[in-house]
């Protein structure tokens, strides 16, 4: 790869998509719920569930902490895995209510305290936790997902095959600028959906001449 540092990649992707306004969600509470529902499904399925929760007047941690699980299952059915996801939404909402009160109050806590709190909730793994920390709780944490690993692997970033390595790669040149970290993840998701798909569209990709995989003609 010609430009191997994260800030150069960020600039290249920014030229393609600009500000992504990532993560989609009208409120911090909605971002928390969306981060759970998006596990193993498409965002369009999540959007239908979120709209049903909103229309039911339940899109807040305080409301979700008191909802019946069967009611929630019906509202989020489009997102799949609704038994597990409804349990996770309920459990997390109740724990947030009991320990912090609101998301706004939760944001005042230290990052390591929030990490311990979130990862203890069944159904919340590293990626979901990082998405909540970055986008709902405004902590400067870069979210690493399958798109990130795929793109970095293909363009030829060495030592970026694990989540910890990718975070080190990103923070080493991008620092901890929250807004840039938020946008960088959005840029990578957009780029992976538009160009660097499972079957990549190297022939029309703006990064082709900087990408190991693209330079090899996708071989």
Residues of this chain that bind ligand SF4 (CB under 6 A) = 151, 154-155, 195-196, 200-202, 205, 207-208, 211, 213-214
Instruction: Considering the complex, state which of residue 131 and residue 207 has its C-beta at the smaller distance from ligand SF4.
Output: 207
Instruction: Report helix angle 69-76 to 43-55, nearest 10.
Output: 130
- What's the min distance (Å) between Cβ of 101 and ligand SF4? 44
**Least distance from C-beta 154 to ligand SF4, angstroms?**
4
- Give the chain as a 3 state SS string: CCCCCHHHHHHHHHHHHCCCCCCCCCCHHHHHHHHHHCCCCCHHHHHHHHHHHHHCCCCCHHHHCCCCHHHHHHHHHHHCCHHHHHHHHHHHHHHHHHHCCCHHHHCCCCHHHHHHHHHCCCCCCHHHHHHHHHHHCCCCCCCCCHHHHHHHHHHCCCCCCCHHHHHHHHHHHHCCCHHHHHHHHHHHHHHHHHCCCCCCCHHHCCCHHHCHHHHCCCC
Which residues, at least 6 apart from 184, have a Cβ–Cβ distance to it below 8 Å?
6, 10, 13, 142, 170, 174
- Residue with smaller CB distance to ligand SF4, 80 or 206: 206
Query: 139 or 154: whose CB is closer to ligand SF4?
Result: 154
Given the complex with ligand SF4, which of 13 and 134 has the nearer CB atom? 13
The residue number whose beta carbon is nearest to ligand SF4 equals: 214
Which lies closer to ligand SF4 via its Cβ, residue 11 or residue 99? 11
| Nearer Cβ to ligand SF4 (37/207) | 207
Give the pair of three-digit tokens for residue 146: 């399958």
To ligand SF4, the closest distance from the beta carbon of 161 in angstroms equals: 16
Smallest distance from the beta carbon of 207 to ligand SF4, in angstroms?
A: 4
Nearest approach in angstroms of CB 197 to ligand SF4 is 7
Supply the minimum distance, in Å, between the C-beta of residue 158 and ligand SF4: 15
């Amino acid at each position: 790869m010609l430009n191997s540092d994260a800030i150069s990649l960020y600039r290249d992707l920014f030229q393609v998509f600009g500000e992504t306004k990532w993560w989609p969600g009208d409120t911090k509470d909605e971002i928390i719920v969306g981060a759970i529902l998006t596990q193993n499904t498409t965002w369009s399925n999540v959007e239908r569930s979120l709209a049903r929760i909103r229309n039911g007047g339940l899109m807040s941690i305080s409301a979700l902490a008191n909802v019946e699980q069967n009611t929630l299952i019906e509202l989020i059915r489009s997102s799949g895995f609704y038994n597990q996801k409804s349990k996770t939404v309920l459990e997390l909402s109740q724990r947030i209510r009991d320990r912090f009160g609101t998301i706004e109050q939760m944001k005042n806590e230290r990052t390591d305290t929030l990490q311990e709190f979130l990862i203890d909730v069944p159904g919340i793994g590293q990626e979901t936790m990082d998405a909540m920390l970055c986008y709902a709780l405004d902590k400067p944490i870069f979210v690493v997902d399958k798109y990130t690993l795929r793109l970095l692997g293909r363009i030829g970033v060495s030592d970026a095959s694990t989540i910890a390595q990718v975070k080190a790669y990103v923070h080493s040149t991008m620092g901890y600028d929250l807004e840039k970290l938020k946008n960088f993840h959005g840029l990578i998701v957009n780029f992976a959906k538009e160009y660097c798909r499972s079957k990549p569209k190297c022939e029309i990709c703006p990064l082709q001449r900087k990408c190991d995989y693209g330079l090899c003609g996708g071989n």
